[in-house]
Amino acid sequence: MVFSVAIALLPFTIGILLGWLCFKRISNNKAKIGLIAIISILTLFFGSAWVIALSSSSKQPSEATRTVPSPIITSSPSSTATVMVTPKQELHKVIKVIDGDTINVDLNGKTETIRMIGIDSPESVDPRKPVQCFAIEASNKAKEVLTGKNVSLEADPTQGERDKYNRLLRFVFLEDGTNFNKFMISEGYAHEYTYQSNPYTYQTEFKQAESSARENKKGLWADNACVTPTSTPTIKIVLTTAPVPTKTTQVVQPTQSSTSTSGSGGGGSYTCDCSKSCTAIFSCEEAYYQLNTCGCSARDGDSDGVPCESLCR
């Protein structure tokens, strides 16, 4: 402190000494007064400038003596990353797991449906779609991890508050800080999903998680995850169609001359009579006579060449 004051008064001290020397050496009084006045003015001017310069330098230390304050580190890099992915938010009870990317939670006494941001698990409950490959496994894993548990929720302002189905859009974190959205992708239970090419907070991490799951063939990326069994069950085909009977056509030529015009019905000659029905004809020979000789086509109703089939079969 004393040294600083002495430095500050140095110009004034020099001015006083110069004035005293001039007073002793110059005999002319007018010259003395004039010179002392000039020295006084210069002393005040340079002294004031000197004091101001010293004051500024005391507030702004030199580069050699300046110390740069170290940044305040409150946690290690790993713990910092954990803080980033583990929002200190209120915990909410999981009421129901709907599928691999959708759950119901108790949000301040109200049941809300949460659609997880950044992932898309195979569909298992959408009535518009069939159950997709690995959907049951993804749903079961979500139920295993989340059922009855407490979770914290993190919104993403880039994704909006709700989707078109009025579901809250959130990242879901377990109590130990695990990002459940990322966990499902990492283990192969879901795809990374970017809605309308709109980047979200953890997009880079999620894409890397999917690449890792693909490379390690986890979950739905496994070689046999979605392969339909190739073995075909043996099917016995029973033919119920009855066999078609083979028709045997018996051609019996009448033994009587075609010129015969009369005779008895038992073995003599036959008389053409197309009005006779098959029940009135006594033998197959007579039936053929009526058909072939007399041209009584009515005797062959199915046109197979066999008359009165009740007689000629």
Q: Could you give the residue numbers annotated as active site?
A: 115, 123, 167
The helix/strand/coil state of 2 is helix
Angle at 171 between CA 165 and CA 177, to 5 degrees: 155
User: Long-range CB contacts (< 8 A, 24+ apart) of 226-231?
Assistant: 226/133, 226/134
Rounded to a whole number, what is the largest CA-CA distance in the chain? 202
DSSP letters of 175-191?
A: TTS-BHHHHHHHTTSSE
**Number of residues in the chain:** 313
Cα atoms in the Cβ-side hemisphere of radius 13 Å centred on 251: 3
Give the helix/strand (H/E) hosting 99: strand 91-99
